[in-house]
A and B are shown apart, each in its own frame.
Chain A
């Protein structure tokens, strides 16, 4: 299984809502990543988990809260988002010692 799955595929939320994005992989990878991608732009790294522990936070606002409950799952909890947070949110995974990341299809988030 070389697939990274993400749910939901699309999400529309108001600025006062709380929602969560989910990511799952069964490749045995112990590094997992969250990226944000705006239209016509490259992916921007947000968070890196290594062995289920947060190892990198690229100065992401606290309204984004990541969680890695086990080695296969990665969540991104969203609260009090702004319209400018609308983007494609990508999850990726890799072996801890590898640069080769496998991406999921993303969640298209719209904040109204």
Chain B
């Protein structure tokens, strides 16, 4: 089946540093979303990408929909302690007449104050 691989799997960064993470697949996706999940909570939607090559920002977050439609990137600038959590990408593709969602394996971010 489809699989979304995220890298890095985990990362420790110093407060104030910029962060980059990516999501790759062997399959094409029509839409990419990025979520953040805090411990014991549900995922929260950060950014949605609808067009290949699209670059979208939301505050300190910037995400890009890869031109091949097989990857996506998320950047966080000037990290702060509350950025700690697990970041998931999610890709949508057509399957059997409906849009099937596949979540990535996750990137765990830890910020050192």
Contact = CB atoms under 8 A, between A and B. Distances in A.
Interface of A: 4, 40-45, 48, 55-56, 90-92, 99-106, 108
Nearest to A10: B40
Instruction: List the 8 closest A-B pairs by CB distance, nearest first.
Output: A103-B42, A42-B103, A103-B43, A99-B31, A90-B42, A105-B42, A105-B41, A106-B42
B31 to A, nearest CB: 5
Interface residues of B, number: 20
Contacts of A104: 42
| Chain B residues touching A, majority SS | strand
Contacts of A42: 88, 103-106
Given A42-B88, A92-B42, A100 B48 contact: yes
5 contacts: A45-B100, A99-B33, A99-B48, A99-B99, A102-B45
Contacts of A103: 35, 42-44
B101 to A, nearest CB: 6
